[in-house]
Chain A
Amino acid sequence: MGLRILIRTGVLLVSLAVSSVVVFALMAVLPGDPARVALGVNASPEAVAELRNRFGLDRPLVEQYLSWVGGLVRFDFGTSYVSNAPIGPQISDRFQVSLWLVGAAMVIAAVIALPLGTVMAVQHRRLSGVVLSALSQVGVAVPAFLAGILLITLFAVRLGWLPANGWTPPAQDPVMFLKQLVLPALSLGLVQGAVLTRYVRSAVLDVMREDYVRTARAKGLRPMQALRRHGIRNAAVPVLTVLALQLVTLLIGAIVVERVFVVPGLGSLLLDAVSNRDLILVQDVVMLLVLAVLVVNFLVDLLYLVVDPRMRTASR
């Protein structure tokens, strides 16, 4: 098991290195000149050249790459082209916001999906199961931003129960923080919950068709009992995989919802940075996301070992 973790860590580091090259190369070929964007219309070619020099954009690409990666390794994220401010604190502010939002959304999604998906699977031949299944299909089809707009119209504009948008850090005003978190977290969570429900249903259905569950049923256990004793752990493996994927998708996929609810998260930071051609900031955020994907996958791999003892044996 130790060796396995070691190999996984190695893969993680190599993937990071490769993706840093890819990210940097993509930024290098992106049309649009950061200096030109910062200086705006009417800028003289000399002024643009001077700013390119100050940004270090006139250095060879390899040199630019090395100085960027060198900084990252030392946790120095560099300085933004646009605001001239250090990037590290900006990213960490936005990342905290995104974590709260994504965390709350995932909790909502899991709370909806796990019980509902299981019920749908157990009752898949009954009317209730079919109705629930149809409802979840609708949920999958609704984009999160649309859910957001509907929730705002109903709960904020019509009923006035919750704020329509905005963000307050929890330390500053916990009550306001919760009020403002509810609607964006719900719009993400409901949609992700619907998606997850489909996976939970099919995972549970698969397990229920297995021989060992049939054997358990033949011994006289009722469907739920058989599932509880013998099925859950087996069904958990594919569900965990999907959960991890969703977590990562949400981190950046929350971008539209962030916009609708005016939440200053990582997604909107990235979008602004791309449109301002704040290339260093874009590279940093993308690398952070790559890191998040890799780390989550790494953790899920470890979790498999916890959930499924057979994998532990196999790896020995």
Chain B
Amino acid sequence: MSTRHLRSAAASLLAVALLATACSAGSGSGTGATGSGGAGADDSVTVGLVAEPASLDFGSTDGAAIPQALLYNVYEGLVKLDQDGKIVPGLATSWEVSDDRKTYTFKLVDKAKFTNGQPFTATDAAYSINRVKKDWTVSLKAAMDVVQSAEAVDPTTLKVTLSRPSNDWLFRMTTRIGAMMSESAVSTIATKPVGTGPYTFQTWKRGDSITFSRNESYWGTKPHFKTVTLKYFKDPTALNNALLTRTINVIGTVQAPESLKQFEGNDKYQVIEGTTNGEVVLSFNNSRKPLSDKKVRQAVRYAIDHKALLDTCWAGRGKLIGSMVPPTDPWYEDLTGMYPYDQAKAKTLLKEAGAEGATLRLRIPTLPYAVACGTVVKSQLEQAGLKVQLDQLEFPAAWLSTVFTNADYDMSIVAHVEPRDIGAVFGNPKYYIRYDSKPMQDALAKADAGTEQDQVTEMKTAARTVSEDAASDFLFLLPNLVVADKGITGLPKNAIAESFDLSTLGRS
């Protein structure tokens, strides 16, 4: 290398420095670092989220990210779940249930249209329901098995006949399986979803973002924003930084609750705290010694100081729950008093069961809440005289095969985020918790078949049974934490539906 080369090297260095200053000059004033598709323009909003969909077809790919983006925004169902957990009209204006509770007759809105121009009719509704039964591959489709037939009576009347009465079916129609689709568009829905919702799907930049535009021919109240972008960030710090530098306007779900401090007390931002369906469960393998012994399970529940645990592992955000029911379900009861923190009692129970010093394998998925809570659970149980072997398993693949499929574990920690999932988790003896209880299964069956009042009574029994039996321990309910620019309005407080509902977003 000659001096000439050295000199040119120095020149390039200078050029880089100049470039950096030039860039800074451009973005230093007012608007902040906003780029194309960034936050800023008045008729657009950018929401930062964590998990990006793997595909856009929730009929063939599982994962919460797809309905989070598409449901209620691009796709609508006949019914939807409101912020208080109530089933309210969607594309159906009203519905009647027959006396034997097996026939549902839905009256449909008459001016809804798919974004490909096709009108929405009862024929499409029947097609969508039948398609779930016929073409879907994800396990959730099982909720549609109870449907015997779905047929269009006239363009705005749909009749659905069930093989047995099921309260749960109507509720499931508020989730992704109830999404109404057009037969003329389904062949390309994995890349170009078409629904009747307030937004039209525009683009999906894989690894980056999904963009919607306002559906100008929407049958209901048209949304405020012309363009909505969902931008995906795997790293929670990057997500926070994006809001701080105005790349996005909203953090849809805060993944690191300890990072909220930087937004609270800053009058540029609003922090919204609501609830979710995500019960963080310390699951027990009920089929395997020593946790097949009820006394040992009870001892574990007594040995855990839930308040201290929540403070340590989730910055005190969230709600303590005593069973598998979030407060937004109609049959919620506060059962946190059933197993108050009592190390002495835990030790006595362990002694009675002859399980003092027993080793429990706590095999947790590599997810933030599980990793944070795993060490706390371990230390609390060790104080009560148990030995805990803590293993972290890669999520989802390794955890799914070891814990979920093969039930090769004693305890695990996982958030069960599906709505109304007490039945799926504790009503099926083959589920990884391996909890087999006749009273529980009976209560669930009665709740599904009875009137709405029966449902509430029986579900309360189910929740109490699971808790009393200590089929698992319930660490806490994940909070819904949203941070947004001050002027953004209409943000959903609770995340209890499968959707991140963008239809009410506005700017004051």
Q: A32-B397, A264-B206, A277-B397 are in contact. Are A41 and B139 (CB under 8 A)?
A: yes
Closest B residue to A175 by beta carbon equals B26
Chain A residues with Cβ below 8 Å from B27 are 160-163, 179
Inter-chain CA distance A111–B138, complex, in Å, is 53
Interface centre among B191, B245, B405 (most CB of A within 10 A): B245
| Residue pair B241, A37 in contact (C-beta under 8 Å) | no
In the complex, chain A residues 252-279 whose Cβ is within 8 Å of any chain B Cβ: 259-262, 264, 268-269, 272, 275-277
Q: Is A188 an interface residue (CB 8 A)?
A: no
Q: Is B504 an interface residue (CB 8 A)?
A: no
Closest A residue to B234 by beta carbon equals A259
Q: Is B489 an interface residue (CB 8 A)?
A: no
| Residue pair B241, A164 in contact (C-beta under 8 Å) | yes
**14 extra interface residue pairs, beta carbon distance < 8 Å, beyond A36-B400, A41-B62, A264-B205:** A31-B398, A31-B402, A32-B397, A36-B397, A40-B138, A83-B190, A85-B55, A85-B190, A107-B12, A108-B16, A165-B233, A165-B241, A166-B242, A175-B23
Q: Is A182 an interface residue (CB 8 A)?
A: yes
Chain A residues with Cβ below 8 Å from B490 are none
| Residue pair B33, A163 in contact (C-beta under 8 Å) | yes
Q: A42-B424, A268-B207, A275-B396 are in contact. Are A51 and B137 (CB under 8 A)?
A: yes
In the complex, chain A residues 152-175 whose Cβ is within 8 Å of any chain B Cβ: 152, 155-157, 159-168, 172-173, 175
Inter-chain CA distance A86–B57, complex, in Å, is 16
Complex A-B, nearest 3 residue pairs according to Cβ-Cβ distance, in ascending order: A32-B397, A40-B62, A161-B24
Q: A84-B190, A173-B36 are in contact. Are A161 and B238 (CB under 8 A)?
A: no
Inter-chain CA distance A172–B396, complex, in Å, is 36
Using a Cβ cutoff of 8 Å, how many contacts connect chains A and B?
A: 192
Binding site for A on B (CB under 8 A): 1-3, 6, 9-10, 12-13, 16, 19-20, 23-24, 26-28, 32-33, 35-38, 54-55, 57, 60-63, 137-140, 142, 190-191, 205-208, 233-235, 237-238, 241-242, 244-245, 247, 394-398, 400-402, 404-405, 424
Type the 1/0 row for A35-59, where 1 means its CB is closer than 8 Å to any CB of B: 0111111111001001100000000
5 A-B pairs (CB sep. < 8 Å): A84-B57, A94-B207, A161-B20, A161-B27, A165-B238
Closest B residue to A169 by beta carbon equals B205
In the complex, chain A residues 80-102 whose Cβ is within 8 Å of any chain B Cβ: 82-85, 90, 93-94
Chain B residues with Cβ below 8 Å from A262 are 208, 233-235, 238, 242
Chain A residues with Cβ below 8 Å from B241 are 152, 156-157, 164-165
Chain B residues with Cβ below 8 Å from A39 are 62, 137-139
Q: Is A283 an interface residue (CB 8 A)?
A: no
| Residue pair B1, A160 in contact (C-beta under 8 Å) | no
Binding site for B on A (CB under 8 A): 30-33, 36-44, 47, 50-51, 82-85, 90, 93-94, 107-108, 110-112, 114-115, 118, 149, 152, 155-157, 159-168, 172-173, 175-176, 178-180, 182, 228, 232, 236, 259-262, 264, 268-269, 272, 275-277
| Residue pair B23, A31 in contact (C-beta under 8 Å) | no
Chain B residues with Cβ below 8 Å from A47 are 137-139
| Residue pair B404, A41 in contact (C-beta under 8 Å) | yes
| Residue pair A264, B208 in contact (C-beta under 8 Å) | yes
| Residue pair A260, B235 in contact (C-beta under 8 Å) | yes
Inter-chain CA distance A31–B233, complex, in Å, is 27
A183 nearest CB across to chain B (Å): 9
| Residue pair B234, A179 in contact (C-beta under 8 Å) | no
Inter-chain CA distance A50–B136, complex, in Å, is 12
Inter-chain CA distance A175–B54, complex, in Å, is 30
Q: A41-B404, A164-B33 are in contact. Are A111 and B16 (CB under 8 A)?
A: yes
Chain B residues with Cβ below 8 Å from A41 are 62, 139, 400, 404
Interface centre among B1, B3, B206, B398 (most CB of A within 10 A): B1
Interface centre among B190, B191, B234, B238 (most CB of A within 10 A): B238
| Residue pair A111, B397 in contact (C-beta under 8 Å) | no
Inter-chain CA distance A162–B3, complex, in Å, is 34
Closest A residue to B207 by beta carbon equals A264
A31 nearest CB across to chain B (Å): 5
Closest B residue to A269 by beta carbon equals B207
Chain B residues with Cβ below 8 Å from A182 are 19-20, 23
Closest A residue to B396 by beta carbon equals A37
A115 nearest CB across to chain B (Å): 6
Inter-chain CA distance A165–B241, complex, in Å, is 8
Chain A residues with Cβ below 8 Å from B190 are 83-85
Q: A38-B62, A259-B238, A268-B234 are in contact. Are A179 and B35 (CB under 8 A)?
A: yes
Inter-chain CA distance A173–B397, complex, in Å, is 38
| Residue pair B54, A232 in contact (C-beta under 8 Å) | no
Chain A residues with Cβ below 8 Å from B140 are 42
| Residue pair A43, B138 in contact (C-beta under 8 Å) | yes
Chain A residues with Cβ below 8 Å from B405 are 36
Chain B residues with Cβ below 8 Å from A172 are 36
A226 nearest CB across to chain B (Å): 13
| Residue pair B6, A115 in contact (C-beta under 8 Å) | yes
Closest A residue to B395 by beta carbon equals A275
Chain B residues with Cβ below 8 Å from A176 are 35-36
With beta carbons under 8 angstroms apart, the residue of A38, A82, A260 that contacts B238 is A260
| Residue pair A40, B139 in contact (C-beta under 8 Å) | yes
Inter-chain CA distance A107–B139, complex, in Å, is 50
B426 nearest CB across to chain A (Å): 13
| Residue pair B33, A118 in contact (C-beta under 8 Å) | no
Inter-chain CA distance A232–B207, complex, in Å, is 44
B141 nearest CB across to chain A (Å): 9
Closest B residue to A145 by beta carbon equals B235
| Residue pair A164, B55 in contact (C-beta under 8 Å) | no
Inter-chain CA distance A50–B10, complex, in Å, is 62
